[in-house]
Chain A
Amino acid sequence: DIQMTQSPSSLSASVGDRITITCRASQSISNYINWYQQKPGKAPNLLIYGASTLQSGVPSRFSGGGSETDFTLTISSLQPEDFATYYCQQSYSTWYTFGQGTKLEIK
């Protein structure tokens, strides 16, 4: 299996802050990584696919980058609705694996 390791596991930030979440793959996955946002009691919501392509309807304050094994999700100016848990997921392998999640909390 391809292991996906996110850091940090949790993060406290304020509205207006810029934050970055990192995801590292256990082997090269080219740019086959997706990012999801999940709010309590809800299903995950696709934010970014292919490392950097914004899903339709996702605000431009979200951006993704990286390649091979190291990837980032950046939120340029946090809004109240962005406080949630974020997951990376690789689609390089036919067996999807997810990161353990990063919980973004209000400071």
Chain B
Amino acid sequence: QVQLQESGPGLVKPSETLSLTCTVSGGSISNYYWSWIRQPPGKGLEWIGYIEVYSSGGTNYNPSLKNRVTMSADTSENQFSLRLSSVTAADSAMYFCARGPDYYGSGSFLQYWGQGTLVTVSS
């Protein structure tokens, strides 16, 4: 069974860079896509983007965050990471990592999720 675990600082200062890592167990990160999703307290879900851990290592980011987001992967550690720069209070949220898009034909879904990690942006 694939399991994901987010890790990183729970408190980040405004204007600094949020950095999170997702460690995957129960399977290799290779040959899959891996996503980050966030959820402000009491609010809905926002997809941040994904990285494909294939030969290209391509990424696809939410256009609203594209200028501030960087995703990377480390196959030797079976981890992938998120960096979000120039954070403000609006970036305070629960951050989830997930496997996917997992494709079925032309559609896709997010099947395996981490438990989430709460990040607060405050001085």
Interface residues of A (CB under 8 A from B): 1, 31-32, 34, 36, 42-46, 49-50, 53, 55, 87, 89, 91-92, 94-101
13 inter-chain pairs at a CB distance below 8 angstroms, sorted by A residue, are A32-B106, A34-B110, A43-B116, A44-B110, A44-B113, A45-B113, A46-B109, A53-B104, A89-B110, A91-B108, A91-B109, A96-B101, A97-B47
The reply to whether A101 and B101 contact each other, CB–CB distance below 8 Å, is no
Given contacts A98-B46, A99-B44, A100-B44, contact A34 B109 (CB under 8 A): yes
With A and B bound together, what is the CA distance between A43 and B37 in angstroms?
10
**8 nearest interchain CB pairs?**
A43-B113, A96-B47, A98-B45, A49-B109, A32-B107, A91-B108, A34-B109, A100-B44
Closest A residue to B96 by beta carbon equals A43
B55 interfacial by beta-carbon distance below 8 Å: no
Bitwise interface map of B from 38 to 77 toward A, beta carbon under 8 Å scored 1, else 0:
0000001111000000000000101100000000000000
B28 interfacial by beta-carbon distance below 8 Å: no
B114 interfacial by beta-carbon distance below 8 Å: yes
The reply to whether B63 and A95 contact each other, CB–CB distance below 8 Å, is yes
Interface residues of B (CB under 8 A from A): 35, 44-47, 60, 62-63, 96, 98, 101, 104-111, 113-116
With A and B bound together, what is the CA distance between A33 and B9 in angstroms?
33
Contacting residues, chain B, for A89 (C-beta < 8 A): 45, 109-110
Given contacts A31-B107, A91-B108, contact A43 B45 (CB under 8 A): no
Contacting residues, chain A, for B114 (C-beta < 8 A): 43
Contacting residues, chain A, for B35 (C-beta < 8 A): 96
Per a CB cutoff under 8 Å, which of A1, A44, A49 touches B63? A1
